[in-house]
């Protein structure tokens, strides 16, 4: 599956590293996805609510199925996030622009997840005109 197909097939997106700072891409990108009808579930170590949604400390704490795990964390953290994404049964792992990890790719693909790295979900959404609303 290519990036456009992966995003088009997702409804619920867990965002690991969703930022409190509206000036950062890690806030603005998920906000754009939310505005286009995607269900956003923030994963953040200390916040309690972001983008009007309850925040979870880890992917394992999310009590509902997740289609896509969107990662806004450093590449070094990606393998651990990939392991959690496999554990929760996510369908895909997406590392945002600037984030690359051969180990995360291996973990995701061996776990049956579709995988995208070094691409921005908001750019793919815009260029492919993907909307859920």
Percent of residues, the chain, with pLDDT higher than 90 = 98
- Both tokens assigned to 95: 């590392």
User: What pLDDT digit, counting tens, does each position of 4-50 carry?
Assistant: 999 999 999 999 999 999 999 999 999 999 999 999 999 999 999 99
Q: What is the pTM of this model?
A: 0.97
Which residues, 6 or more positions from 123, have their beta carbon under 8 angstroms from its beta carbon?
97
Boundaries of every domain in the chain: 3-128
- Both tokens assigned to 40: 């956003």
The 8-class DSSP code of residue 56 comes to B
User: What pLDDT digit, counting tens, does each position of 63-76 carry?
Assistant: 999 999 999 999 99
Q: Which CATH architecture has domain 3-128?
A: 3-Layer(aba) Sandwich (3.40)
The answer to whether 80 and 27 are in contact (CB under 8 A) is no
Q: Per residue in 71-98, is it b (16+ CB within 10 Å) or e — as a string?
A: bbbebeebbebbbbbbebebbbbbbbee
């Amino acid at each position: 599956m290519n990036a456009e197909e992966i995003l088009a097939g997702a409804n619920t997106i867990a965002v690991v590293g969703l930022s409190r700072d509206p000036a950062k891409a890690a806030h603005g990108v998920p906000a754009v996805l939310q505005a286009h009808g995607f269900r956003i579930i923030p994963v953040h170590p200390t916040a309690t609510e972001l983008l009007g949604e309850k925040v979870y400390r880890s992917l394992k704490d999310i009590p509902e199925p997740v289609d896509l795990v969107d990662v806004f964390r450093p590449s070094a953290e990606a393998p651990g996030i990939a392991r959690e994404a496999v554990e929760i049964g996510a369908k895909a792992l997406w590392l945002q622009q600037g984030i690359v990890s051969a180990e995360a790719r291996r973990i995701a693909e061996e776990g049956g997840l579709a995988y995208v790295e070094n691409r921005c979900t908001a750019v793919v959404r815009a260029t492919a005109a993907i909307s859920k609303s």
